[in-house]
Amino acid sequence: MNNPKIWLSSPHMGGGELAFVNEAFETNWIAPLGPHVNGFEKDLENFVGGQYKAAALSSGTAALHLALIILGVKAGDEVICQSMTFSASANPIVYQGATPVFIDSEEDTWNMSPWVLETAIQDRIKSGKKPKAIIVVHLYGMPAKMDEILAISKKYEIPLIEDAAEALGSTYKGKAAGSFGDLSILSFNGNKIITTSGGGALLSKNEEWISKARFLATQARDPAPHYEHSHIGYNYRMSNICAGIGRGQMQVLHKRIEQRRKNFTFYTNALAQKEEIKFLAEKNDNFFSNRWLTTILVSDIKALKNIHTSLSDNNIECRPLWKPMHLQPVFAGVPYYGEKISENLFNSGLCLPSGSNLTEKHLSRVVDKINVALGVILVY
Ligand SMILES: *Cc1c(COP(=O)(O)O)cnc(C)c1O
């Protein structure tokens, strides 16, 4: 076929993974524990830095769930969450029987608006319920305004959970994404910048919390010769095989960041003359994005539709931006603070193919099809 599928973000093995996986087979460590799990955790701790400890888990969603449990979030509580995100940021709030309170984005980073966040906290406190936690997300790899958000978290003494699922390798003021939250989470799902096929991690400077996460993630077995339980446990640990893949992927993470950023540069250069298309820039030197996905905003709704159709018709995967949680049927009636920033982004945005394994030829094909779509518009 001369029109092979171009994926949005597909797994990209570095070559070192198989040696780790083979080692797991040879030593029979085929279990949700083992030397690769410990090794992968060390790799993550070294990469994120800032004295953060890591627990390798079965998914980023599991990591968020444990973060909420560790912070004592219970039925009837409220947890603040960025509205524009993947549903996995918010679902664990509901697992705990708590209610999300959704916050709009701001235009510089597309992440949680600090101003709206503070307004919401004041309003919730006034109505008698102080939120138990704040979940901030670095969408598509772009760091959120962490100084402002951390200041609010401190001022109101509400712990911060940093959802860095899309932002491994991004930095804010030179510090790694994942090194800001009281608890932070990463994801290694198949579409993320590196993958373990499926997996995640919980990070914190609080070692007791990380020990507790490992305990809860392995069915909460108390020390005893028989199976003794004083807590409800979960089966959330990462397998030694997956962790082996992760160790191999960590060897090439720096390359992956470079490659994803190169995609972004290619698209911005190639489409610089298109008035209808805007990219999200790094606001200043404080913001460094891993450019997990390159996204565009298209000013004309017809042009947006044409681009989407043109790419899809040519076997090129593209996708609208995350639909904000406050617009999701499952969260109808849930409290929301903000205006229409995230809604407008959703209505005019598109994610372009961004895998680190795409060649310039692939990227040129995408750009050509966008040009064709915009050409059609000019006829109107
Ligand atoms: C992928 C993702 C998650 C969930 O991670 P999984 O490992 O797929 O469970 C959470 N939050 C965001 C923002 C994500 O993109």
Angle ∠(163,164,170) on CA atoms, nearest 5:
150
Q: Is 202 helix (H, G, I), strand (E, B) or coil?
A: strand
Q: Would you say the CB of residue 163 lies under 6 angstroms from ligand 1? A: yes
Mean residue pLDDT of the chain comes to 96
Residue whose CA is closest, atom 11 of ligand 1? 89
- Does 380 score more than 50 pLDDT? no
- Does 1 score more than 90 pLDDT? no
| Rounded alpha-carbon distances, angstroms, from residue 148 to 136, 154, 180, 238 | 12, 10, 12, 34
Residue whose CA is closest, atom 2 of ligand 1? 165
- 68: nearest Cα among 164, 136, 133, 129: 133
- Does 131 score more than 80 pLDDT? yes
- pLDDT tens digit string along 159-178? 999 999 999 999 999 999 99
Strand partners, 351: 295, 319
Residue 131 carries which side chain, given as an amino acid letter?
A: P
Answer yes or no: pTM beyond 0.75: yes
Q: Would you say the CB of residue 61 lies under 6 angstroms from ligand 1? A: yes
Please tell me the predicted confidence (pLDDT) of residue 228: 93
Spatial separation of the C-alpha atoms in residues 159 and 69, rounded to whole Å:
13
Contacts of 245 (CB under 8 A, 6+ apart): 13, 17, 20, 21, 195, 196, 197
Provide the pLDDT confidence category of residue 376 given band limits of 50, 70 and 90: low
Percent with pLDDT over 90 in the chain: 97
Q: To test the ligand 1 pocket, which listed residue (61, 139, 290) has its Cβ within 8 A of the most ligand atoms?
A: 61
For residues 279 and 268, the answer to whether their CB atoms sit within 8 Å is yes
Spatial separation of the C-alpha atoms in residues 362 and 228, rounded to whole Å:
56
Give the burial class of 107: count Cβ atoms within 10 A of its Cβ; 0-12 exposed, 13-18 middle, 19 or more buried: exposed
Provide the pLDDT confidence category of residue 141 given band limits of 50, 70 and 90: very high
- Does 189 score more than 50 pLDDT? yes
User: Dihedral of CA 127/128/134/135: which sign?
Assistant: negative
Please tell me the predicted confidence (pLDDT) of residue 375: 87
Percent with pLDDT over 70 in the chain: 98
- pLDDT tens digit string along 273-323? 999 999 999 999 999 999 999 999 999 999 999 999 999 999 999 999 999
Q: To test the ligand 1 pocket, which listed residue (86, 170, 239, 289) has its Cβ within 8 A of the most ligand atoms?
A: 86
- pLDDT tens digit string along 208-246? 999 999 999 999 999 999 999 999 999 999 999 999 999
Overall average pLDDT of the 178-204 stretch: 98
Spatial separation of the C-alpha atoms in residues 206 and 52, rounded to whole Å:
8
- Does 379 score more than 80 pLDDT? no
- Does 378 score more than 80 pLDDT? no
Q: Is 353 helix (H, G, I), strand (E, B) or coil?
A: coil
